[in-house]
Amino acid sequence: MAASAGPEIERLIGLLAKLPGLGPRSARRAALALLKRRDQLLIPLAAALAETAEKVVSCSVCGTPDTRDPCAICSDPARDNGLICVVEEAGALWAMERSGAFRGKYHVLGGLLSALDGVGPDALRVSELVGRVRGGGVREVVLALPATVDGQTTAHYLTDRIAGDGLEITSLARGVPVGGELDWLDDGTIVQALRARRPA
């Protein structure tokens, strides 16, 4: 495709087009909106991106992106250390937090097992989860993974890996639509699914 804007703007468009949900057309529209609203949008966004790139790290305990390590959730003494909710990505964690229904800790896997895409346990934060559970003090692990083939394969695998005496392993009840990802759900559905969780 011939470049129609200058190289800097084409580079911006090319990067924006890599974002989920943005193709080349919407990336052009987004770039145009940024350029038109230089003071309100372009400059604050550039500063927010630079600050995020500089300060945000993955929590060494749970894998959540945050500016501190351990993250704010892992360091919160008011939260239940005996309860760990396992999620695919941080987006699901944010959705759970918006629902306000969960007062335990989290574990972000960083993806799902997928034979098709060649994603094995070593590509995910599985050994870290096993370590946390074996470390003691954990009563229950809630597997809040999608009801997709990969999600359920991952749930079964994790159940095998972490099962042990006195550990309860539960999964979210299926008020969650099949194939549904947590960050698309309304808070009420998450609250219900969490309350009605059951042994995995």
Query: Could you list the residues that contact Zn ion (CB under 5 A)?
Result: 59, 61-62, 64, 70-71, 74
Verify cis geometry, omega within 30 degrees of 0, for the bond prior to 44: no
What six digits make up the tokens of 87? 């999620």
The nearer residue to Zn ion, 16 or 106, going by C-beta atoms, is: 106
Whichever of 16 and 162 has its CB closer to Zn ion, that residue is 162
136 backbone φψ class: left, alpha, beta (φ>0; ψ -120 to 50): left
- Give the Cα separation of 21 and 88 in Å (integer): 19
CB of 85 to Zn ion, least distance (A): 12
Q: State the minimum distance, in angstroms, from the CB of residue 59 to Zn ion.
A: 3
Nearer to Zn ion, 16 or 62 (CB): 62
Select 61 or 176, whichever has its Cβ closest to Zn ion. Answer: 61
Q: Residue 3 is encoded by which pair of tokens? A: 């470049």
Q: How far is the CB of 61 from Zn ion (least distance, A)?
A: 4
CB 106 to Zn ion: min, Å: 7
Which residue in 84, 79, 74, 75 sits closest to 141, CA to CA? 84
